[in-house]
Structure 1
């Protein structure tokens, strides 16, 4: 089993760098809000979901530091794990549904007139299917723990 303290430390610095760069770009794009209102709506969604990811990831770490679900947890701890984990997963999915198409534009993969809209709809569908699979797996895990 991997040491999550080491993994967490290695992921922390790139995450902080990502947050700093993203906040800089958010403030820079804010000045263009009148010309690109749709872009700013997506950027606001990225900012809000990014903040939610930080909050729910911290709550996730606190939840698991208090005890894992497999430790014969009471119903309130299990419910807390379910709620926090699902909100974290949804926040990440909503963040990625905007971030991935914009990343593809930045790297030059989407250059045609309708490429962005097509990629965005395909990515949205992929993330939706992935969410359904994750929620089903989580439901099976928790129901299996009850039985």
Structure 2
């Protein structure tokens, strides 16, 4: 659902498709899995923080990054939804409203990117797909590059869209 929402939004921002109500539908359907993810992740993070044994400092730093970026995602998703409820994307508006949409979306994209940069490689280790250290490090390097490219594509889509309608 997240990927569907993101791809449709990018195609719209680049002007390749028209706005569709399915943007709202997929966005709304993301809510319940997101809440479940937040509850489980927060519980596991806080449970891990209470442990006395701090053996892996780099892992703790990455887990903290996940937690902080997760909080940022929640904040920016809330702002994203609220800003588009108050002023829909197709509605012609003043410069400062468009700038607000732009900044909120860029901060949301950056938060999601930083969160996924840590989360996806760790998820693949948890599922046993990256079973040795070299495969983890290699995948993580390639995935970081992929995330950077996707972030740039998203930022360029916002610039193209808001550059055209400013």
3-state SS of the aligned residue for 1:123? helix
Asked whether the 8 Å contact 1:53–1:88 carries over to 2, the reply is yes
Which residue matches 2:33?
A: 14
Give the number of aligned pairs: 146
How is 1:1-147 mapped onto 2 (pairs within 5 angstroms)?
Answer: 1-2=20-21, 6-30=25-49, 31=51, 34-146=54-166
Q: Measured at CA, do residues 112 and 17 of structure 1 come closer, stay the same or move farther in structure 2, by a change above 3 Å?
A: same
Displacement of 1:33 in angstroms is 5.7
Asked whether the 8 Å contact 1:49–1:94 carries over to 2, the reply is yes
Displacement of 1:9 in angstroms is 4.3
What is the aligned-residue RMSD (CA, Å)?
A: 1.6
- State the TM-score, normalized to the length of structure 2: 0.81
Which residue matches 2:13?
A: none
Displacement of 1:136 in angstroms is 1.3
- Structure 1: segments with no counterpart, 5+ residues: none
In 2, the alpha carbon distance for the partners of 1:138 and 1:11 equals 22
Asked whether the 8 Å contact 1:69–1:77 carries over to 2, the reply is no
Displacement of 1:142 in angstroms is 1.1
Asked whether the 8 Å contact 1:56–1:84 carries over to 2, the reply is yes
In 2, the alpha carbon distance for the partners of 1:2 and 1:28 equals 40
